Structure 1
Amino acid sequence: MENSSKGFIPVMLTPFSANGNIDYDALTQLTEVYLQAGASGLFANCLSSEMFELSDEERLQAIRHVIKITNGTVPVVATGTFGGAIGKQADFVKRVNDLGTEAVIVITSLLAAENESDEVFDGRVFDLLDQTEKIPLGFYECPVPYKRVLNAAQLKSFVDTERVIYHKDTCLDLDDIKAKLSVTQGHKFGLYDAYMGHAVASLKAGSAGLSCIQGNYFPELITWLCQNYNDEALADEVQRVQQFLIDNMDVMHNVYPVVSKYFLQRRGLNISTFTRRDVGTFTTSIVKEIETLFADYTLLKDDLNIRLFL
């Protein structure tokens, strides 16, 4: 997961059965779809996974299952901090690391309250580093419970320890992305951008890849973009994909992840639309929007000769 490679890291969904239990058969199939679509790694136990609605044991079991299915073919990162005292968070980081993850992800908004300073946050990061031995860590600027975005100076200080190797960025600001990339060069470290509004520009600026919810609709398209973003012979096609992602931003976020699970159903995945999180009502008008998205994507992937694996 270094800057030299451009890869797609899916923020994995958690499939549930109708009774609300994790559907491990569907999780197996979903993991295989990500891999077949060309994912260069997987981000398990993230917000898209409904991590806050899972118990500790469910979190660990889901991560363990994903690692088993990947069987070493790609690295897996997974969240390991869920609030409380740093010692408690460090203990769970160790449990996640013991499963075989490439890095354990730290939620930035769970190390300090919204009204606490960057200095307080930074101190807790270094405390967590001290209490987790040599375990590789990463950051996720998760929007829940609130969004705490790291600035370039902060990220540099953490990456300079050689312990922080991964960052899922949600700042939505290309200049901030460039600043973070500038100060973290020369390290075993990858910044993966979540915002598809500037996906091509971010990749050209030096981001290691993309980690976005759009990959839970069409993972092969995000892989295609990571592979072809700088190909002059495909410049028109790349711009078409970028505009497609921009034009459909809102519909893919509306009552997510229900909508993405429905989209995957339309693709043939045996997955229910059940979610433990209250994301709103999946109305008939939203269904129509997703059906339009499905039709538009079918035309796009056919024009680009992109192969579906489901």
Structure 2
Amino acid sequence: MSRPIEGIIPVMLTPFDDDNRIDYGGLERLIEWYLAHGADALFAVAQSSEMQFLSLEERAALGRFVVERVAGRVPVVVSGHVSDDLHGQVQELTAAVDSGADAVVLVTNHLDPHRRGSEAFLGNLELLLKRLPADVPLGLYECPAPYRRLLSDAELSACVDSGRFVLLKDVSCDLATVERRVALAAGSPLAVVNANAAIAFDAMKAGSRGFTGVFTNFHPDLYQWLRTSGARHPALAEEVNTFCVLSAVSESLGYPALAKLYHQRLGTFKSIHSRAVSYDIRERHWALDEVLDRIAAGTQAMRDRIAQATTAA
């Protein structure tokens, strides 16, 4: 791997058509949208991709498609690690390796599916490391489903010491934990990248090497500006950060179908069909389009303010 995997890393959506098939045309448009809006890398076949609801064949095809269409413009990391049994995990992770991804991401809760603690986690990890090619960089993802399995400091240190890991998608949602993990990974190839919007800006200032939360599907360029230019415009950065934090609260309104509706309105997707969200999000979450109107308008307002500040500078 010649490039570090860090910065603004969107967790990719999987568009479906109304017949429940992957919409590869919509996916290609989504890839180009991410790249046009400041993505430094892409995370394919993640929870936002509805990986738990995709067959192994679909996960393999999805990873290959993203790698091929990105064509080296930015690094692509791929997961699809959803099984609890070792045989299934080897199949899934081998499919991710075969996609040609720049790194393959292991989900922490599947390394300790029965919540038995560090001995089970490290034992399963050792078995998988023996089965995966030694030259393939790896990542870790504290995926919230089926349960949020946070790494202990000792577990993270073991992963750092292995020399195999280049990325941790941190889901601790705690700034002090992010800071401690950054210190543990200091001097190693492992980038700690926070996934929680509420602490995104503070985490980046504290050494998190980017952001990889769900609202990278709405305005990744705003997070990119905070990362690269926020320190030079502290007053405006506080406004942009506050807008991003408040916008992200709407994740509870039917995500990822919510993000698909946002992209349907942008013209990226034809359908908002989701396998993970089986209900009508407009029926359950009243005035949803008005919420998205405000997010869209606020996003554009922040972009305009940033453009003005850039011109003035």
Is TM more than 0.5 here? yes
Aligned counterpart, 2:148: 147
Q: 1:289 aligns with which of 277, 288, 291?
A: 291
Q: What are the equivalent positions in structure 2 for 1:169-184 lying under 5 Å apart?
A: 169-184=170-185
The Cα of 1:6 is off from its aligned counterpart by: 5.7
**Quick one: distance in 2 between partners of 1:203 and 1:2?**
23
Aligned counterpart, 2:248: 249
**Quick one: distance in 2 between partners of 1:78 and 1:149?**
20
Q: 1:230 to 1:152 in 2, by over 3 A?
A: farther
Q: Deviations over 1:258-306 (max 9, x none)?
A: 1111112222323421101136431242222222222222222222229
- The alignment's TM-score, normalised by the length of structure 2, stands at 0.91
Q: Is residue 51–residue 82 contact of structure 2 (8 Å, CA) maintained in 1?
A: no
The one-letter code of the counterpart of 1:224 is W
Matched residue SS, 1:256: coil
Q: Is residue 257–residue 274 contact of structure 2 (8 Å, CA) maintained in 1?
A: yes
The one-letter code of the counterpart of 1:272 is S
Structure 1 runs not aligned, ≥5 long: none
The Cα of 1:91 is off from its aligned counterpart by: 3.3
**Quick one: distance in 2 between partners of 1:230 and 1:4?**
22
Identity %: 32
**Quick one: distance in 2 between partners of 1:296 and 1:146?**
33
Q: Deviations over 1:155-203 (max 9, x none)?
A: 1111111101111011001111111111111111111110111111111
Mean Cα deviation higher: 262-271 or 40-49: 262-271
The one-letter code of the counterpart of 1:82 is V
Q: Is residue 3–residue 190 contact of structure 1 (8 Å, CA) maintained in 2?
A: no
Q: What are the equivalent positions in structure 2 for 1:52-91 lying under 5 Å apart?
A: 52-91=52-91
Aligned counterpart, 1:116: 116
Mean Cα deviation higher: 139-148 or 73-82: 73-82
**Quick one: distance in 2 between partners of 1:113 and 1:187?**
28
Mean Cα deviation higher: 23-32 or 83-92: 83-92
The Cα of 1:4 is off from its aligned counterpart by: 8.2
**Quick one: distance in 2 between partners of 1:88 and 1:168?**
22
Aligned residues: 304
More helix as a share of residues: 2
The root-mean-square deviation of aligned C-alpha atoms, in Å, is 2.0
Q: Is residue 257–residue 277 contact of structure 2 (8 Å, CA) maintained in 1?
A: no
**Quick one: distance in 1 between partners of 2:224 and 2:114?**
35
Aligned counterpart, 1:274: 273
Aligned counterpart, 2:30: 30
Aligned counterpart, 1:298: 300
The one-letter code of the counterpart of 2:179 is K
Aligned counterpart, 2:95: 95
Aligned counterpart, 2:261: 262
Q: What are the equivalent positions in structure 2 for 1:156-175 lying under 5 Å apart?
A: 156-175=157-176
Aligned counterpart, 2:21: 21
**Quick one: distance in 2 between partners of 1:84 and 1:115?**
12
**Quick one: distance in 2 between partners of 1:133 and 1:98?**
11
Q: 1:2 to 1:156 in 2, by over 3 A?
A: farther
**Quick one: distance in 1 between partners of 2:4 and 2:64?**
28
The Cα of 1:230 is off from its aligned counterpart by: 2.6
The one-letter code of the counterpart of 1:197 is A
**Quick one: distance in 1 between partners of 2:56 and 2:4?**
34
Q: Is residue 151–residue 176 contact of structure 1 (8 Å, CA) maintained in 2?
A: no
**Quick one: distance in 2 between partners of 1:56 and 1:228?**
41
**Quick one: distance in 2 between partners of 1:301 and 1:270?**
23
Q: Is residue 5–residue 166 contact of structure 2 (8 Å, CA) maintained in 1?
A: no
Aligned counterpart, 2:311: none
Aligned counterpart, 1:227: 228
Structure 2 runs not aligned, ≥5 long: 309-313
